[in-house]
Structure 1
Amino acid sequence: MPHDPAVLEAVVKAYDVRGVTATHLTPALVHDLGVAAAEVLAAADRPFLIGRDMRPSSPALVDAFASGLTGQGVDVIDLGLASTDLVSYASGVLDAPAAMFTASHNPAAYNGIKLCRAGAVPVAIDTGLADLRDRVLAGVPDARPDAERGARTQRDLLGDFAAHVRSFVDVEVLRPVRVAVDAGNGMAGHVWPAVVEGLPIETTPLYFELDGTFPNHPANPLEPDNLRDLQAAVRDGGHALGLAFDGDADRVFAVDETGRSVASSLVGAVVADRLLRHHPGETVLHNLICSRVVPETIEAAGGTAVRTRVGHSFIKRRMAETGAIYAVEHSGHFYFRDHYRADSGLVAALVLLEAVAEADAPLSEVIAPYDRYPSSGEINLEVDDPGAAVDAVAAAFVGRGVADREDGLTVVVGDGWFNLRPSNTEPLLRLNVEGDDTAALERLRDEVRSHLDATS
């Protein structure tokens, strides 16, 4: 059936497919995306893997996508309920293309598809998503005769994945640690118990019941309101730290024993330090809005720090080019070479827990040596013309520091730095500022904002 080009343009995004299921991401459209995936992404003589989150719409969308694939002669392995990093693991270990049905942190009305080629190689708009969109727009072929259709089978890899995650720490010497974990009714509630089974980790679970209607709070730990229950549980229960996962559990965020949020750059620095202890001299990537403490930690630990743009497709590509063992994104994504260069909230969480256990101290003491620079966090600013606004700020800082345009505008001055990046989807600018001290941070932040105000 023909599809509205405007709908396809709306749901096929830079890194995944995502939309409201009642109006845009319908089973009929998803079926045809499955047909197109058989041509664009399927690998000869290899099955196509499919996992899903707990959203009410996920089973029907998985059925539609699988039908599209099998109708073109492609075998499908249904992984069932899964986190995104479990599906990445499956794609890597089975060397097969995969689809994860999730809308991550979006509300219940949404769903989506994260796609990768065999070996967990990511698929973005310029590496396959545009081709899928265009093939659906052109009209997909009918299903083959029954005798030529592919088969759909089930496979449970949760136990194998849990063992894989545990391989990133020394379980033989892991000491007891108490942690509160907020799954947000998302997939961490399914995978976390399997990962920590048999380990001396005492978990206080919050919202582990799988419920894609998100009855307690949205599965988006970036929003401070969504951390309040975790913060209270950590403080009241005497835990060493708390962990919060997004809906598909590929991102993790931490709070210390007082309930204070810990910047992902600091978590990333701790993990980098530990990995480089065991793998000295390796390369570690960090995106350009990470705190300066990340490259400083990498270099101090004997590693090579390489700066990269924001965005998982850029990071995974650079990991492949450089052989990097690890990569940090300030947005809570942590990528591991031994996890097929994919991101894993579960791996990062377990390595962080190992650091806390080894120190026999709460999280605030573990991160204290890394917590050197105050930062603004990401500030979203509405502007009429994002490109012109960035140009105006760049002109105002000419001759005052080192500037580059690798991803938006980054300017390093004597006592701090800032990055100003246009949003891919909204008329917004995203501002991140860091200073040597609070006064420097506030001065630089306020100056950038004053230049932006002058353009509106």
Structure 2
Amino acid sequence: MFPTPKPLLRPNSYEFESEPMVKPTGFREYDARWLFGSEINLMGVQALGMGLGCLIAELGQPQEIVTGHDFRSYSASIKYALISGLQAAGCKVHDIGLCMTPMAYFAQFELDVPCVAMVTASHNDNGWTGVKMGANRPLTFGPDEMTRLKEIVLNADFNNKVGGCYHFHENFPARYIADLTRRAKLKRKLKVVVACGNGTAGAFAPQVMQAIGCEVIPLDTELDYTFPKYNPNPEDMEMLHAIRDAVLEHDADLGFGFDGDGDRCGVVDNTGEEIFADKVGVMLARDMSAITPNAQFVVDVKSTGLFATDPVLQAHGARTEYWKTGHSYMKRRTHELQALAGFEKSGHFFFNAPLGRGYDDGLISAIAICEMLDRAPDKSMADLKNALPKTWSSPTMSPHCADEAKYGVVAAVIAHFEAAQTNGDKVAGQPIRDLVTVNGVRVTCEDGSWGLVRASSNKPELVVVVESPVSEQRMHDMFAAINAVLGTHAEVGAYNQTI
């Protein structure tokens, strides 16, 4: 019998080294995230592996799984604890070693393995760890699977089996790189800054971009798990500003910023201006729908309203559905609709054939952008951006809110705006045109200005985004209105960044 995990154990104690610790809040909506050492220990990770192996069998899938780990000082140890649990549950484990998350997704196809468990904290600060999991490629777990996994692990409802085994795939990254670069080289010579924030993508992104025909200016591509310059998160302004400076210094055509596990890509244009990922998505949708008329796209609720109003997309017959934020939700919906692509404001892009296999890969996103520029040889990235209808958009802003409190706060905010709509109350001086509550609440005023509040799925935070097609002042008005409502909740703390 394996012990039942405890929610809390004191570090540097007998209990910590001899019992599993798993904090329940680490089971998120579509993946798992914990602070290593204070919310989960190695025996807790082993319990997670045993639970995942049991869930795979329960789902009727063969107990065969790909695993890999990102570049953090503790990730390999966590992966091997996870592997021991998977083997105890009877799984055949295919270990591809140090890798990016999309490399693990690719391995499911390349090795013909149904399941995946990637050990990564993604862009979270050091100290965090987590696992991105799936049992039906190219999809990853959603709330139903995560809820069931939580039940199995926290109740130690394990069904250990014999027959688990382990296979290490040597030099697997070469197969992934060969797959990405098996395409016609760019006709246009592009000079690109490739920034990785010293995260895992630094081992792979420069050579991939060079192989497709780019002149590469590497920026913070040396692997360093202390992240000495900035956190590898292409939504953080510190990373975007570092890319801006490098683009201007080297007179580059554009800059790419990859997150800690390589499944997201941020973009800075040739003038040094960051382009938020949802606007990049509109540019790509324009390009793709010109080739494939009447294309279907999926975008998340944090994304710009241009997907619904852009005249070029309308002329191409493009159709867009706004859906729940989160890589698992977006991936699943893009797959269900067989959409040409899905775009998320955070930089997770999901390309179905011919560009991709339905999973999120920051390098495929970068390649798609380069190929878009290749088809517009007389246009710069700034030209393509400036051709979009003007809107004023905020970055993603995240006020702290404890995991135990954030969903209750969001429910109260939804109720506030639903009551305001019913009563005819104004928001930022205007009537409410519509509310979207598929994921938090997106409030749109009569002039098209909108604001979103939702709970972060992977950190103790809320997520706030605002946009206006009218003026910068209206964007600020929307933020003030949203922030005033959040200010009535004591559980809401300081923002990571604001406009």
- The TM-score with structure 1 as length reference comes to 0.90
The Cα of 1:38 is off from its aligned counterpart by 1.5
Q: Deviations over 1:164-205 (max 9, x none)?
A: 4346xx624531100111111112112213423432201111
Cα 1:304/1:157, change in 2 over 3 Å:
farther
Asked whether the 8 Å contact 2:36–2:128 carries over to 1, the reply is yes
**Counterparts of 1:193 and 1:447, CA distance in 2:** 43
Shift of 1:120: 2.5
1:179 and 1:239 in contact (8 A); partners too:
yes
For 2:357, give the aligned amino acid: Y
CA offsets per residue over residues 86-107 of structure 1, 9 Å max, x none?
Answer: 1112224424201111101112
Deviates more, 1:4-13 or 1:244-253: 4-13
Unpaired runs of at least 5, structure 2: 9-21, 425-430, 491-499
Would the aligned equivalents of 2:43 and 2:81 in 1 still touch at CA under 8 Å?
yes
> For 1:151 and 1:378, how far apart are their aligned partners in 2?
41
Of 393, 405, 417, which residue of structure 2 is paired with 1:375? 393
2:7–2:39 contact (8 Å) kept in structure 1: no
Distance 1:118 1:454 in 2: 42
1:323 to 334, 338, 351: 338
**Helix, strand or coil: the match of 1:250?**
coil
Deviation at 1:249, TM superposition (A): 0.9
Q: Which amino acid aligns with 1:278?
A: I
Indicate whether 1:54 and 2:71 are aligned. Answer: yes
Distance 1:2 1:52, change over 3 A: same
Return closer, same or farther for 1:386/1:429 CA change in 2, 3 Å cut-off: farther
Q: Is the 8 A contact 2:181 2:212 kept in 1?
A: no
Matched, 1:437 2:471: yes
1:388 to 2:388 alignment? no
1:52 and 1:102 in contact (8 A); partners too: yes
State whether structure 2 residue 242 is matched by structure 1 residue 229: yes
CA distance in 1, matches of 2:400, 2:414: 12
- 2-structure distance, mates of 1:137, 1:409: 31
In 2, Cα distance between the equivalents of 1:227 and 1:193? 18
- C-alpha deviation, 1:142, in angstroms: 8.0
Counterpart in 2 of 1:199?
A: 212
How much has 1:263 moved relative to structure 2?
1.2
Distance 2:454 2:306 in 1: 24
Q: Residue in 2 aligned with 1:308?
A: 323
Counterpart in 2 of 1:106? 124
Q: Which range is displaced more, 236-245 or 129-138?
A: 129-138
Q: Which residue of 2 aligns with 1:422?
A: 454
Q: Measured at CA, do residues 362 and 140 of structure 1 come closer, stay the same or move farther in structure 2, by a change above 3 Å?
A: same
CA distance in 1 between counterparts of 2:30 and 2:417 reads: 29
Return the match for 1:118 from 129, 136, 160. 136
Distance 2:410 2:157 in 1: 38
Residue 155 and residue 46 in structure 1: after superposition, are their counterparts in 2 closer, same or farther (change >3 A)?
farther
Distance 1:380 1:20 in 2: 19
Q: Which amino acid aligns with 2:444?
A: V
2:302 maps to amino acid: I
> What secondary structure does 1:229 align onto?
helix
2:211 match: secondary structure: coil
TM-score, normalising length: structure 2: 0.82
Give the alignment's Cα RMSD to 1 decimal: 2.7
Tell me the matched-pair count.
451
Q: Secondary structure at the match of 2:387?
A: helix
Q: Does residue 238 of the first structure (1) align with residue 238 of the second (2)?
A: no
Pick the aligned partner of 1:359 from 371, 376, 384. 376
> Is this contact kept in 1: 2:235–2:395, CA < 8 A?
no
Q: CA deviation at 1:114?
A: 0.5
Matched, 1:70 2:87: yes
For 1:67-216, list aligned pairs within 5 A: 67-93=84-110, 94-127=112-145, 129-139=146-156, 141=158, 148-166=163-181, 171-216=184-229
Match of 2:434 among 402, 414, 424: 402
CA distance in 1: counterparts of 2:40 and 2:101, whole angstroms:
19
Q: Which amino acid aligns with 1:215?
A: P
Give 2:89's aligned amino acid: Q
Q: Secondary structure at the match of 2:125?
A: coil
- Tell me the percent identity: 25
Q: CA–CA distance in 2 between the matches of 1:428 and 1:151? A: 40
Quick one: distance in 1 between partners of 2:93 and 2:205?
26
Q: Greater CA deviation, 357-366 or 304-313?
A: 357-366
Q: Distance in 2 between matches of 1:95 and 1:149?
A: 15
Stretches of structure 1 lacking an aligned partner (at least 5 in a row) = none
Q: Find the counterpart in structure 1 of residue 4 from structure 2.
A: 2
CA distance in 2, matches of 1:443, 1:60: 48
Distance in structure 2 (CA, Å) of the matches to 1:68 and 1:426 = 27
Q: After alignment, is 238-247 or 132-141 more displaced?
A: 132-141
Shift of 1:141: 4.8
Pair 23,450 (structure 1): closer, same or farther in 2 beyond 3 Å: closer
Give, in whole Å, the separation in 2 of the partners of 1:86 and 1:179.
Answer: 22
Instruction: Return the alpha-carbon distance in structure 1 between the equivalents of residues 209 and 23 of structure 2.
Output: 41
Q: For residues 294 and 162 of structure 1, do their structure 2 counterparts lie closer, same or farther at Cα, with a shift above 3 Å needed?
A: farther
AA in 2 matched with 1:388: A
Question: 1:265 and 1:141, CA in 2 relative to 1: closer, same or farther beyond 3 A?
Answer: closer
Q: Which residue of structure 1 aligns with residue 284 of structure 2? A: 271
Which deviates more from structure 2 when the two are superposed, residues 431-440 or residues 180-189?
Answer: 431-440
Q: 1:429 to 1:390 in 2, by over 3 A?
A: farther
Q: Secondary structure at the match of 1:270?
A: helix
Matched, 1:343 2:356: no
Structure 1 position 436, deviation (Å): 2.5
The equivalent of 1:37 in structure 2 is: 52
Name the CA shift for 1:15/1:211 in 2 (closer, same or farther; >3 Å): same
Larger mean CA deviation between 314-323 and 179-188 belongs to: 314-323
For residues 307 and 320 of structure 1, the distance between their equivalents in structure 2, rounded to whole angstroms, comes to: 14
Give the distance between the partners of 1:254 and 1:155, measured in 2 at CA: 33
Structure 1 pair 209–265 and aligned structure 2 pair: CA distance change class (3 A): same
Query: Could you tell me whether the CA contact under 8 Å between 1:310 and 1:329 is conserved in 2?
Result: yes
CA contact (8 A) 2:302 2:452 kept: no
Q: What is the CA deviation profile of residues 217-264 of structure 1, one whole-angstrom value per residue up to 9, with x for unaligned ones?
A: 211222212333222111111101111111001111111223221111
In the TM superposition, residue 266 of structure 1 has moved relative to its aligned partner by 1.4
Q: Distance in 2 between matches of 1:177 and 1:133?
A: 47
